[in-house]
Homo-oligomer: A and B are copies of this chain.
């Protein structure tokens, strides 16, 4: 092979991380920034794990995939670890993001400060409704979705957020992909069909509530019973987090 698969050993190059680890790195990053603000220079796996809501063995294994990051007997250097994680996540430059659909939810997302402070810049807003085109939101002008190809190209956008109604989402996704977008965050409650090489993540608010509903349902079923069965409740919560008082 012309280029070896870069192992986890050498520094700034590209390790091949387990998907579960990738999903947790952003949480570690957030916790680390919080620790840095509080003036910590260094943190133990135990401390960082608590701040991120995971157990310390998992954290250590996750970080071990990044190469040598900590110091035995001491812990992790906070700012160094922040740099390493941002490096791996590709957050060394601020990525431009397009947002499609400026209805109820899209409006809120367009104004969400958390994007700006955590590596992203909302670079363009789109809507299919001519009545909304031209509206100013948070310093940006809403453009018509027909302008997608042009703007995606100008702003070098590779990530887009879909906040349209479900019935419009597939069409929007198709147009985004055609324009060159290769990652999509989908808030519409539907499955998107995209070609290979395009990543889709989905956030469905009602689904989250329905999952909670299941657990509520179970809890009330169990507590309704006396005795032995009630004790199962102690097994019932899977998500009781420890950690970080703000």
Q: Which residues of A contact B (CB under 8 A)?
A: 1-3, 5, 14, 17, 19, 22-23, 25-27, 29-31, 34, 51-53, 88-91, 95, 97, 104-105, 107-109, 111-112, 114-115, 117-120, 158-159, 161, 166-167, 169-171, 182-185, 189-201, 203-221, 225-229, 232-234, 236-246
User: Could you tell me if B104 and A213 are in contact, using CB atoms closer than 8 angstroms?
Assistant: no
Whether A14 touches B214, Cβ cut-off 8 Å, given contacts A107-B108, A112-B104, is no
Give min CB distance, A35 to chain B, whole Å: 12
User: Could you tell me if B209 and A159 are in contact, using CB atoms closer than 8 angstroms?
Assistant: yes
A191 — which chain B residues lie within 8 A by C-beta? 27, 31, 51-53, 241, 243-244
User: Could you tell me if B89 and A210 are in contact, using CB atoms closer than 8 angstroms?
Assistant: yes
User: Could you tell me if A240 and B198 are in contact, using CB atoms closer than 8 angstroms?
Assistant: yes
Q: Given A118-B209, A119-B209, list of 20 further CB < 8 A pairs?
A: A1-B227, A5-B229, A26-B206, A27-B204, A27-B207, A30-B190, A34-B190, A51-B191, A89-B217, A90-B218, A108-B109, A119-B210, A120-B213, A170-B245, A194-B241, A196-B234, A197-B219, A197-B234, A200-B241, A201-B208
Partner of A227, one of B2, B119, B207: B2
A166–B236 CA distance with the chains assembled, in angstroms: 27
A219 — which chain B residues lie within 8 A by C-beta? 182, 197
User: Could you tell me if B199 and A215 are in contact, using CB atoms closer than 8 angstroms?
Assistant: yes
User: Could you tell me if A105 and B112 are in contact, using CB atoms closer than 8 angstroms?
Assistant: yes
